[in-house]
Amino acid sequence: MYHVPVLLEESVSGLNIDPDGVYLDLTFGGGGHSREILKRLKDGCLIGFDQDSDALANVPDDSRFIFVNHNFRYLRNFLRYCGYDEADGILADLGVSSHEFDEAGRGFSFRFDAELDMRMNQRSRLKATDILNTYSEEDLTRIFRNYGEVDNVRRLVDLIMRARTEKMITRSEEFLQVIAPCVPKQKEKKYLAQVYQALRIEVNGELEALEDMLKEAERALRPGGRLVVITYHSLEDRIVKNFLKSGNFEGKVEKDFYGHVKRNFELVNRKVIVPSEEEIERNPRARSAKLRIAEKRKDDKVIE
């Protein structure tokens, strides 16, 4: 299967769908969430985004659906290009698709020996192997510390810097051999997941794209429209939580003269929604998922 949609019912119901409304699925992937949205539309329109060209194979034959093969950070431009000024709801499932993890040649997983690629958009230039072989010691330390939250980051970077002076690191198996001395016993999978996550985030500019997307979604939604976001790690969840609660990415609450918090969203679910034990048993990759739903304010406190 290409990708098992996570929190499917909870996220799609969170959009509070108008059968004649305009909706955006910003991470189309295998199309699981999109198909469920289409079931609830009558004369409405759904625009699906995915920068991975492999997703084209999953596009439904439905006149109500428009596919955009680009990064979701440009959502407002493409919404207008499709003929709409506003959207009634926006859904973003931020997880890397199961297809990308399971496709050995894409280099996303340490389970396979493949070129260290990790590009979600295969038209972009930067690969993980470029990072490992050309980034400075300072920049490598920054990405593994900030994006992977790796504990022994100095030792990790030192091993990479030493190895690449003798030979370029181009494949996963080579990389795993290089860093083996600093991988903690009994915690190998967790550690390697953190290292690979850091590389993937840097290759794809994921956190910057997320911030751009949230600001664009805020402008694109009509008052009363819903924003539904599923996150999978603390870095992206912190960005989403801060933005929805405070209107900025630092989480700094600012109030106007009347004591109203300066933000454009009201939280629909005060407590974050997580998968049930049954869903995690069916789909272990759902384990770390967190769902947040917010509605754009209708009143005069909306900040444009």
Binding positions for S-adenosyl-L-methionine:
31-33, 50, 72, 93
Which amino acid, 48?
Answer: G
From the list 50, 40, 100, 99, the residue with the least C-alpha distance to 71 is: 50
Cβ neighbours of 157 (radius 10 Å): 24
Sequence-separated (6 or more) residues with CB below 8 Å from residue 140: 131, 132, 157, 160, 161
Interatomic CA distance for residues 108 and 122, integer angstroms: 13
Region of residue 127 (phi > 0: left; psi between -120 and 50: alpha; otherwise: beta): beta
Report the binding-site residues.
31-33, 50, 72, 93
DSSP string, 164-231: HHHS---BHHHHHHHHGGGSPTT-HHHHHHHHHHHHHHHHHTHHHHHHHHHHHHHHHEEEEEEEEEEE
